[in-house]
Amino acid sequence: MTERQIFLSASERPDPEARAAYLDEACAGDTELRARVEALLRAPDESGSAIDTDGTLLPPSNPSATVVSPAGAHSRHVPAVSAEDTLISAAPAPVPQMSERIGTVVADRYALVEVIGTGGMGTVYLADQTDPVKRQVALKLIKVGADSKDVLARFDAERQALALMDHPNIARVYDGGTTSAGQPFFVMELVRGVPVTAYCDRHRLPVGARLELFVSVCRAVQHAHQKGIIHRDLKPGNILVTEVDGRPTPKVIDFGVAKATELKLTDQSIRDFGAVVGTPAYMSPEQADPLAVDVDTRTDVYALGVVLYELLIGLLPIDAQQLKRATILEALRMVREVEPPRPSTKLSTADARPLIAANRSTGPAELVQALRGELDWVVMRALEKDRDRRYDSVGGLARDVERYLADEPVEARPPTRWYKARKFARRNRGPVAAGALVFLALVCGIVGTSWGLRRALGAEGLARERLAQAEQSREEAERSQKETERALADSKHAQAKAETAQKQATATSDYLVNAFRKPDPAEDGRQLKVVDLLERAASQLDRDKDMAALARARLRDALGQTFFGLGLPDRAAAIQEKALADYQKELGPNAPAALDVMHRLAFALGQSDRIDEAVRVSEDLLARRRSVLGPEHPDTLMTMTQLAGRYWSANRLGDAIPLAEQALAGMRKAWAPDHVEFINSVTNLAMLYQAVGRTGDAVTLHEEAVTLMRTNKGFDHPDTLLAVNFLGRAYAESGNTAKAIDLQRETLIRIEDKFGPTHHRTLDVMSKLAQTCYQFGRAPDALPVSEEALKRAKRAKEPNTGAVLTAMQDLAMTYSYLNRPADALTLLREVVDLATTKLGPMHKTTLTATHDLGVALRVAGKLDEAIPVLERALAARKKVGPEDDTGVQRTTAQLASAYDTAGRAVDAIPLLEQLLVVQKAKLDPDHRDLLVTMANLALAYGSVGRTGDAVRLHEQVATAFQKRFGAVAPDTQTVTQYLGAAYLKDNQLDRAAATYRDLLAATRPLLKPDDPNLARTLAGLGEALLVARKFPEAETVLRECLTIREKKLPDDWRTFQTKSLLGAVAVGRKQFDKAAPLLAGGYEGLRARADKIPGSQKALLPDAVDRLIELCTATNQPAELARWRTERAKYPSVAPPPRAVRCD
C-alpha cells in the first residue's frame, strides 16, 4: 500500500487502539513510513478537533504538520483587504515591535493609521501615502519574528502574484520593499468593501444581478489563471464588493496561498506537500487530499461553484453545521466524497426559505422554480468531484452563466445514469464486487434451465416485439404532436410577453422623454430648475395611463428618493405614499419591495415633521418585518433603530432608548462594524443618551462611530463629517467646549467643500456650531457664524424657509447672549411674524420662535411683555404636545423664571413642582435640566419663606453638580453660592460661612484677583459674617469685594448693595462716621437702579433703608430718623425682617 492509502485508511479509524493496530499491520515494521503517517495524523489533533466553515488551512513550515487557522472566522470583515490567516505553531505569536506601531512611517511615505487585519504571517494596516501622491492604501507588513523561510517565501509569492496581474476586479499592488527594521512589506489598493454574499443580501439583489457580479469575479480569476496564478482560497471573504460610481464592483483579494502553474513566483522554496491549503467549505476534492500534488486551475472552478451555490440560495453545498462538528480529517473526507444536493433541492427543504427568497427580492416558490434546470446544471457541473467533468476553465463557467443570462442554451447537462452507476461503483468497490459475484452465480444457475424455455417462447416473443414496435410508433407520434402543440403555445406566450414588454418599454421611454425633455422657453415661459423638472415628471407620471403599475411604482420611488436628496422631505413623502400603494396592490403588503418603500416613506415623514404618521408607518413596518424576516434579520434591526428615532421625535424617550439598545445589540451580532446602518445605530443611541443626560455614554458611542466612519468611508465623507459634528456637540455637553468647537469648525470646512456654502447640511452644521458657542460661554465666536449662516440661507438657490428661520433664531440668541437685547428682540419679532405667516401659528418653528422671544424679553428685563408671550407659548405647546414634551418643559421653566424675577414666586412654584415631577419620570437623576429645575424651585421656596425646603433641594443640587462637573465648574460655583445663601436665610450661619469659604478656597487660585465671580463669593461670605456679628473679618472680605465691583461693575446694583453691607459693618463696629456715607450712597444707588434688581431681590431696598434707620437711632438724629421712616413707608408690602446687626 502507498503512504497515501495508509494515511487515508488510518484517518477513517478514530479509535486510537484500532488505528494503532491497523498501522502495525499496514506499515509492516517500516518505522520511517509509520513516522510520516503518524505525523500527518497527529497534526490535526494537536491543533484542535473542530474547525469553522470559514477557517482557512495553510501549509506549515514543517511538512509533517497540518495547520489550522480559525483566524477571521469570528472577526469582523475588513473593508480594505482580508486579514492574513493565522499560522499556528508551537511557538507563541511574535509580539508587535516598535516598528509596527500606529504612526510609524514606512519607507518615508506610508504612515500607519490603524490595523485592519492581522494573521500569523503579517499584519495589514490602513496607511496614508504622502508621496508621490496622497491617498489611503493597504500596507501588508510581515511580523517581526514570523520570518521563517517558508513565511518569507509565501509573503514574497503573494507580492509577486499581485504584481503580475492587472485587472479591475483584482486588488492592485502599488509598491513594496523592506522597512528600516528589515521587515518585508508591500502596498496594495485599499478596498472598502464587504463580502460578495453579504453585499448581495444587504441590497436584496435578485438572481440576475447576483449572476452578473459572479461573471465579473470569474473574469478576474480567469485573468489570474492566464497569468499562471491559481488562487486556491476563493470564498466570499476574499471577494469583496465596493461601489464605484454607484455601481457594485467585486474585487478578488488575498493571494497569500496562491500557486503558480508555469512560472516561479519566488526564488525561495515553498513546501506544500503533505499540507492542506484553503478553506474546507470551499475546497475542491483534490485540494482536500493532503497527498495531492497536481492541483490545477479547476480547483478554483470548484471554489467558484461553491460561491455561486451560496449566492443563489444562501447555503453551502455541504452542511455547515456538519463541517463545524467534524474533525479536520472527517471534514476533508466529506469534501472528497459527499455529493451535494442541487441548489433547488436544498432550498426546497430549508427552514429559512422565506428569508432567503426575500433577500433575493422574490418568493420561495419562484426562487425554487428559477433554480431548477439550467442553474442547477451549471452549479453542479462546477461542483463535480471528478475534475475532468467540471468546466475546463473558469472562463467556461463564466460563459455558461452568460448564456443563461442571455436565455441561450447552457452547455452544462445533468450526469447520465450510466455515469452515476460508475461513480457509485467506484465509491463502493467492495460491496459492488461481492454483489457482482453473487449475481454471476445466479446467472450461471439459471442459464441451463432457461435454454429450453427460450426456444419455446421465441415465436411468441417475436410476435410481441412487433406489436410493441407498432405501439411505440403510435405513442411517439402522439408525443410529437403534443410537443408541437406545447411549443406553439410557448411561442404564442413568449410573443405575447414580448409584445407586453415592448409596450411597457415604449410607455416608459415616452414618459422619460416627455418628463425630462429640454425646457422650451416658448412653452414653459422661463428657465426650468431641477425641482421644476422633477415636479413635471411626477405630474406626467400621475397622468400616464399606459404604464404598468409596477413600472410606475419604481419610477415614483426613484422620484421620491430624489426629492428627499434635494432636501424636500414633504414632497418625497407624498410621492412615496403613491409608490407604496402601487407596490402593495401589485405585489402584496409584505413584498420585499413594498417594505423597502415603506422604510423610505417613514424616514421622509419623520423629516417632514409628520411625526405621528412616521411613528405609525414605522410600527407597521417593524411588525411586518418581524413576521416575514424574523426578529434578528438586519432589516428588522434597522427598522427598530428607525422607530426608536421616531419615538424620540415624538418625545417618547422611554420607548426609544430600550428599542435602540436592543437594535444595536442585535446589530453587533448580525452585521460587521463597517456597515453603514450599524454605524447609524451607534450614533442614534448616542444621541438618545445625550437627550437624557448620559453624556459619558454618549461620548463613548460617538467616538466609536467617528472611528468607524473614518476607517470605512474616509475623513471627508459626508457621513463622517456629520458623525464628527455630533461628537463635537457631545463634547460640549460633557464640559469640553474647546474640543467641541474645534471639531465642529473642522466639520464645517469639510462639509462645505462637499456640498457647497448654501446646502442645507452646511447650514445645519453652522447652526450647531453657533449654538455650541453661545450656549457654552463663547457667544463672541457665535456672532460671525450666525451672521454668515443667515446670509447664505437667504441667497440659497432653492428657498428654504426653515433654514432662514433657524439662522435668524441663532443670530437673535447670539445677540441676546452678547447683551444686545434690542437687536435680539427686533430679529425675534421678525422671526415670529415670518413663521406665523409662512408656517402657521401652531407650527413647531413658530412655537420655538415665540418661546425665544419671551426668553429674550425676560433677559432684557421687559417682564410685562415677556410673561404674556411665554404664557401664550406655553398654552400653544400644551395644545400640540403632552406635558413631557421637551418644548413644554422648556417654556414652563422660562415662564417660572419670569414669574420669580417679577417677584411672583407664588406663581412660579406650582409650575416648577409639576415640571420636576415630569422630569424625574423622564430624565436621569443627574441630568442637568432636572438639577436646574430643582435649583430654581429651591430659590422660589426661599423667596416665600420655605427656607427648610430650599436648603434641602439646594444641598441635593450642589452635591450632584460637584460630582458630575467638579467643584470649580461655573455651574457648580453658582449652585454652591445658592446653597450658601439658603443657609443664611435659614439662619444656619456657620454652614453658610463654611460653604462660602470652601468655594473661595477652590476658586481663588483659578480666578484673576479682579474677577467678578470672585466678588460674588466674597459678597456671600461677607454677609454671612456680618449677620454672625464677626465684624472685623466681614469688613476685610466686603472691602475686597467692593474694590473688585467698583472696578469691574461700577454701575451695577450689586456694587451699591456691597456699600450698604459695609455700612452695616461700620455701624456694628460703632464707626458711625464711616457708616453714614456708605449707607446713604448704597441706598441711593440701589434706588436709582431699582428696575435692574430682580423681583426676588426687591427686599434689598427696604433692607438698605432699615440700616439707615438703625444708624440714626444709634446716633440720636431725630430729624433724619423721621425722614428715613417716611422713606421706609414707601415699601409697605415688605415687612422689615429681624436684624442681626445692632449697636451695643
Instruction: State the CB neighbour count (10 A cutoff) for residue 174.
Output: 18
Q: How many helical (H) and strand (E) elements, i.e. helices and strands, does the chain have?
A: 46, 13
DSSP 1042-1083: HHHHHHH-TTSHHHHHHHHHHHHHHHHTT-HHHHHHHHHHHH
Q: How many CA atoms lie within 13 A of 607 on its CB side?
A: 21
CA 635 – CA 564 distance, rounded (Å): 21
CA dihedral 1077, 1079, 1083, 1086 (to 10 degrees): 90
DSSP 143-163: PTT---HHHHHHHHHHHHHHH
Annotated active-site residue in 85, 150, 201, 233: 233
Q: What are phi and psi of 71, to 5 degrees?
A: -60, 135
Burial class (CB in 10 A: 0-12, 13-18, 19+), 251: buried
Q: How many CA atoms lie within 13 A of 37 on its CB side?
A: 24
| Contact assessment for residue 239 and residue 169, using Cβ atoms and an 8 Å cutoff | no
CA 739 – CA 742 distance, rounded (Å): 5
Please report the sign of the dihedral spanned by the C-alpha atoms of residue 752, residue 755, residue 756, residue 759: negative
Burial class (CB in 10 A: 0-12, 13-18, 19+), 196: buried
CA 378 – CA 307 distance, rounded (Å): 13
CA 138 – CA 187 distance, rounded (Å): 6
- Name the residue with cell 476607517: 711
Instruction: State the CB neighbour count (10 A cutoff) for residue 48.
Output: 13
Q: Quick one: DSSP state of residue 1137?
A: P
CA 66 – CA 45 distance, rounded (Å): 10
| Contact assessment for residue 673 and residue 666, using Cβ atoms and an 8 Å cutoff | no
Instruction: State the CB neighbour count (10 A cutoff) for residue 727.
Output: 26
- Look up residue 976 and give its three cell numbers: 454652591
Q: What are phi and psi of 194, to 5 degrees?
A: -125, 160
CA 431 – CA 451 distance, rounded (Å): 30
For residue 132, say if its preceding peptide bond is cis, omega within 30 degrees of 0. Answer: yes
**Is 753 among the catalytic positions?**
no
CA 815 – CA 780 distance, rounded (Å): 9
- Look up residue 530 and give its three cell numbers: 431641477
- Look up residue 959 and give its three cell numbers: 452635591
CA gyration radius, the chain? 41
CA 752 – CA 855 distance, rounded (Å): 32
- Look up residue 1143 and give its three cell numbers: 449697636
Cβ partners under 8 Å of residue 1087, min gap 6? 1101
CA 972 – CA 967 distance, rounded (Å): 6
Please report the sign of the dihedral spanned by the C-alpha atoms of residue 387, residue 392, residue 398, residue 401: negative
Length of the chain: 1144
Burial class (CB in 10 A: 0-12, 13-18, 19+), 593: buried
Residue 763 parent element (H or E): helix 760-775
Q: Where are the alpha helices (DSSP H) in 988-1030?
A: 989-1003, 1012-1027
* Active site members: 233
